[in-house]
Amino acid sequence: MARRAQNAPTDADALKVYVRTLTKNDIDAIISLEEGAFENPEERAGKDKIFYRLTVCPEVALGIFTTTNPTEGQARKEVLLGHIIGTKINADWVTDRSMKGDNYGHVDTGKTIAVHQMAIHKDYHRKGLGKILLKEFMQRMKQSGIAKRLVLIARDNNVKFYEKVGFDERGESNTKIAGGGWKNMYGYM
């Protein structure tokens, strides 16, 4: 289970967060974060999918970080508080095939960015970190010009969050990943 790093700030104002592109060096932190964020193991990406996505399209993967307060004799340590990871696809919506995370999960010439993973550490919910991360992601994707649209799937309890950040709910998704019951969300870029 993911735990808040020892000596990590807890006051939202003191977090001093920053966003950067994720790398393969972040895989263990991503896995730990997802274990704490998603109760249903089927909703977690797993090491192979994360590795695949960070390999084929690292430009579509961001993390929001802070650093620990150093203790005597130790340097500051970077702490992953949240992440968003996607791929480029040729479909208009997230599909079961695109969620597989294998050779079907990314299409270099795709014009749709499919967000497959978004998680914020449970100790840092409701501090605005998801909004900061998603808005930064949307801005970077728009500026890069690598796609025409941004889509994701969301559970009912997360639809309002995505709508506040600029997504529209577009009905039930056909995706059956983790038991189905997802909503299609469309983000304007």
- What pLDDT is stored for residue 14 in this prediction? 67
Among 11-20, 130-139, 145-154, the range scoring the smallest mean pLDDT is 11-20
* Terminal alpha carbon distance of the chain: 35
DSSP state of 189: -
Buried b (16+ CB within 10 A) or exposed e, 108-128: eebebbbbbbbbbbeebeebe
What's the pLDDT score for residue 85? 93
Proportion of the chain above pLDDT 90, given as a percent: 54
How long is the chain?
Answer: 189
What pLDDT was estimated at residue 101? 57
Average pLDDT across the chain, whole number: 86
Domains of the chain: 12-187 (3.40.630.30)
CA-to-CA distance for 62 and 49, rounded, in angstroms?
Answer: 15
Residues of the chain above pLDDT 70, percent: 90
| Mean pLDDT across 29-40 | 89
**Top-confidence residue, 97 or 162:** 162
pLDDT tens sequence across 91-132: 888 887 777 755 657 888 889 999 999 999 988 988 999 999
Q: What is the pLDDT of residue 152?
A: 94
pLDDT digits (tens, 9 = 90+) for 8-23: 544 545 678 999 999 9
- pLDDT at position 4 is 45
Of 57 and 14, the structure prediction assigns the larger pLDDT to 57
Q: What is the mean pLDDT of residues 146-161?
A: 93
H or E, element range at 54 = helix 47-56
- Can you give the pTM of this predicted structure? 0.85
